[in-house]
Structures are given as C-alpha cells and as structure tokens.
C-alpha cells in the first residue's frame, strides 16, 4: 500500500500543483504526506564579492526558515497527516539528497520535468538512485489524479517488471488495466505472446488485465505509447538510461514520455 507520499516543495507557485496531487494520492490511499524541502546553499564560487561565506550561508538559512514557515502554513490546510523534512544543502547535492530521502517513501510526487518546473537532474536522480517510483504529473494540467484506467507499458524487461511491481497499489484500485506491447513489425512467434505473462501475473494478484499489441510507425515506440495513453488515467512504465561521466543519460523513449506524456506517469527503474 501507499502509506507515505513524498513531495518536493520549493515555495514556488508550482507547489500548489505538486501538493494537490500529493494530497489526492494521500486521500485515496489514506496515507500521510512528507514534504521535502531542500534549501539551497551557495557554492563557494557563488559567494558575492565583499560578503563573507559565513554571512552568505547565514542569509541562505534565514531564507530557508521563511520558506519552511510558508510551507508549514500551506500544509496546515491539507486534511492529511503531514511532515516536513528540511535539509540545507549545496546546490550540487540536491538530487543526491532527494534520492536518499525518497528511499523511505512509498511514492515520490513531482511535476513532469521541463526545465522551468522540476529540474531534470532532481527527477532523474530520484528515478535512478532511490529504488522507488516517481509519480510525474503534467505541469500544464489542473490536478485531478484518477486511477480507474491504467496503461502498463510492457516489453518484458527488468525495468518494466520493476515499474509494474511498484504500481501494484494503483493497479489494485483500477477498473481497467491494459498491458501494452509496442512493436514496429509483424510479431514473431515469441513476440506474439509478450504481455501474456504480465497479465497472468496480475491475475495472480487479483487484478484483471488485458494485453494489447500496438503497431508503431517507423519504430517510434514513444509516439505509439503517447497516443495510447491519451485514453488512460495513468501510464506505468520503466525508466531506461545509463551512467556516463557520473551523470545519468535517459534513453530516447523514456525522455520523450517524461517530457511529453499527456497523462500522469508512474515510472520506476
């Protein structure tokens, strides 16, 4: 079950969307909200000339106090048990701290990264470093999370299996579950049954599901899933990427879906 919903808050207007989504999930599963406040401290190279590092750090912590008080007032309006976890951290450590804290939560709520809202670095850090799933919400939509119709992107990989396992609490609440396998060619004999194993597994958990093979043009798996997801309330998918020069690089399909999906995504690595 989902018993603690972690959400990153930064004091911006986007907090309203993040918090409404987190509150909707918390109400649905009768769980509590954990607000993660990562107050950024300046790096040594960012210290202004004529201002000591001690003064600059003290000023940053005072801003953090004001932000924590503001978030605390907003959280009192949420009809759920709440907790604030605040960390004063260097900018370069934000993704690492978020990843560490997400390991002790059942779900991590963030907005779909687009460079202006939730930064890619934070979202990718939690995705690849926490071992838990992220619930990504489209930043342009008003929060109205629903879990009646769920589309599970399945290709038999470790990542898709991980995502489906993480999504079990949501899948048990759904009225309609579809397991989708995307192919750009006439399925070979072994591919014709891909997805059936996932459906059988879900049936063992008391979840009725149907498998759907989706043809994609020119091998564009992301576009095929985007089109199919428009009829769903939630897309469950594995997150793919690899580590290079100490930075995570997302696979093309993962990147496109994370940035363009018209519906919320539950994504896990």
Question: Which top CATH class is 4-137?
Answer: alpha beta
At 137-186, the pLDDT tens digits run 987 666 678 899 999 999 889 999 999 999 999 999 999 999 999 876 66
- At which residue do the structure tokens 């399909």 appear? 253
pTM above 0.85, yes or no: yes
**pLDDT string in tens for the chain (269-residue length):** 899 999 999 999 889 999 999 999 999 999 999 999 999 988 776 666 667 878 888 999 999 999 999 999 999 999 899 999 999 999 889 999 999 999 999 999 999 886 545 677 888 889 999 999 999 998 766 667 889 999 999 988 999 999 999 999 999 999 999 999 987 666 555 566 778 999 999 999 999 999 998 887 766 888 888 889 988 999 999 988 755 544 555 667 888 888 888 899 999 99
How many whole angstroms separate alpha carbon 205 and alpha carbon 211? 16
pLDDT at 92: 85
Q: Do the domains spanning 4-137 and 149-268 agree at the CATH topology level?
A: yes
What's the angle, vertex CA 120, arms to CA 162 and CA 227, rounded to 5? 60
- Torsion, CA 117, CA 17, CA 253, CA 96, rounded to 10: 60
pLDDT at 245: 42
Count of Cβ atoms closer than 10 Å to residue 158 Cβ: 10
Q: Phi and psi at residue 37, in whole multiples of 5°?
A: -110, 115
Tokens of 149: 């119709």
**Are 211 and 181 within 8 A, CB to CB?**
yes
Domain parsing of the chain, residue ranges: 4-137, 149-268
**Are 181 and 212 within 8 A, CB to CB?**
yes
Question: Which top CATH class is 149-268?
Answer: alpha beta
User: What are the C-alpha distances in Å from 198 to residues 19, 192, 203?
Assistant: 33, 13, 9
How many whole angstroms separate alpha carbon 221 and alpha carbon 227? 10
Strand arrangement of the beta sheet that strand 32-41 belongs to: 82-90, 32-41, 4-9, 107-111, 134-137, 265-268, 234-238, 149-153, 176-183, 210-215
How many whole angstroms separate alpha carbon 90 and alpha carbon 97? 10
Burial state string for 180-202 with b = 16 or more CB within 10 A and e = fewer than 16: bbbbeeeeeeeeeebbeebbeeb
């Amino acid at each position: 079950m989902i018993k603690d919903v972690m959400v990153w808050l930064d004091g911006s207007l986007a907090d309203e969307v993040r918090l409404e989504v987190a509150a909707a999930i918390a109400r649905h599963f009768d769980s509590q909200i954990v607000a993660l406040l990562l107050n950024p401290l300046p790096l040594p190279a960012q210290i202004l000339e004529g201002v000591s590092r001690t003064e600059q750090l003290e000023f940053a912590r005072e801003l953090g106090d004001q932000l924590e008080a503001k978030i605390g007032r907003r959280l009192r309006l949420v009809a759920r048990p709440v907790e604030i976890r605040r960390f004063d951290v260097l900018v370069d450590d934000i993704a690492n701290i978020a990843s560490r804290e997400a390991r002790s939560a059942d779900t991590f709520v963030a907005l779909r990264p687009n460079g202006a809202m939730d930064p890619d670095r934070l979202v990718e850090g939690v995705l690849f470093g926490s071992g838990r799933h992220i619930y990504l919400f489209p930043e342009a939509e008003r929060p109205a999370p629903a879990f009646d119709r769920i589309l599970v992107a399945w290709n038999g990989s470790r990542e898709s299996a991980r995502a489906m396992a993480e999504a079990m609490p949501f899948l048990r609440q759904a009225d309609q579950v579809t397991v989708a396998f995307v192919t750009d060619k006439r399925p070979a004999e072994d591919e014709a049954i891909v997805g059936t194993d996932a459906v059988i597994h879900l049936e063992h958990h008391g979840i009725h599901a149907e498998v759907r093979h989706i043809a994609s043009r020119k091998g564009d798996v992301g576009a095929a899933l985007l089109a199919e997801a428009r009829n769903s309330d939630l897309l469950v998918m594995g997150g793919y990427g690899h580590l290079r020069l100490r930075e995570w690089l997302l696979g093309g399909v993962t990147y496109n879906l994370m940035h363009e999906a018209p519906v919320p995504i539950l994504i896990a690595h």
